[in-house]
Amino acid sequence: MTEKAKNIVILISGAGSNMAALIRAAEEENWEASLGARVVAVISNKPGAEGLALAQALGVPTQVLDHKGFESRAAFDAALQTLIDAHQPALVVLAGFMRILTPDFVEHYAGLMVNVHPSLLPAFTGLNTHQRAIDAGCSEAGATVHLVTADLDHGQILAQAVVPVLPDDSASTLAARVLAQEHLMYPQAIKDFLRKLKPA
């Protein structure tokens, strides 16, 4: 790869299913040839995250930076930033990364960090989105890919996927249906974003 490669770093905290969908899409659709882009690293803040083994099985190097080893959120974010920047990223992808990021960290990657959130933003920012959608009597739910800003779940919307809320839905059944759409939408949204991104 040349210096102008669009390197992608993915951050996870758990099972990494969206991460895996992204890595598989990048491989199957040959993003390296068509977009000059590749996933160069998966980083987790949890040593036991299931997604680490999954990423390794898919051929992507992994790193762990345990947030419990830091005295403050700012100290962790500063160390994480150093780790990420070593990969010269063109894009930082949050895929189930369960950390609220500091404004300095977010500013450092302004316009180059994306997240997928399991609701139709601006509705239901934060946690427990599926149960909240059911409790509110929504007929539709879904997921949103957005740019990350210091204001939680409020960045520019890049893509959305809509699913119906069924009469017998529980939070878990709705979550499963939304997640299936995330696995389709997130890689496509990132591919579209990369097409517009100038080489680093």
Query: What pLDDT, on a 0 to 100 scale, did the predictor assign at position 1?
Result: 38
Q: Is 117 a catalytic residue?
A: yes
Burial degree of 52 (CB within 10 A; 0-12, 13-18, 19+): buried
> 174 lies in a domain?
no
Would residue 163 count as lying in a domain? Answer: no
Establish if 139 belongs to a structural domain: no
In this structure, is residue 43 part of a structural domain? Answer: yes
Q: Which of 147, 152, 129, 145 is nearest to 181 (CA)?
A: 145
Q: Kind and range of the H or E element at 182?
A: helix 171-196
Which of the residues in the chain have pLDDT under 50?
1-3
135 occurs within a structural domain = no
What CATH number is attached to the domain comprising 45?
3.40.50.170
Report the pLDDT value the prediction gives residue 3, as an integer from 0 to 100.
45
The active-site residue out of 87, 108, 117, 183 is 117
The pLDDT of residue 96 is 95
Query: What's the domain range around 55?
Result: 6-116+145-153+182-196
User: How many distinct structural domains can be found in the chain?
Assistant: 1
Residues contacting residue 68 through CB under 8 Å, at least 6 positions apart:
none
Give yes or no for a contact between 42 and 54, defined as CB atoms under 8 angstroms apart: no
In 3D space, the residue among 31, 197, 23, 187 whose CA is nearest the CA of residue 116 turns out to be 187
DSSP one-letter code for 48: T
- pLDDT of the residue at 136: 97
pLDDT of residue 36: 95
Q: Identify the pLDDT of residue 5.
A: 83
Q: Does the residue 125 lie in any domain? A: no
Is 179 in a helix, a strand, or coil?
helix
Sequence-ordered strand ranges (E) for 18-174 = 37-44, 62-64, 89-94, 113-117, 140-147, 157-164
Please check whether residue 66 lies inside any domain of the structure.
yes
pTM of the model: 0.95
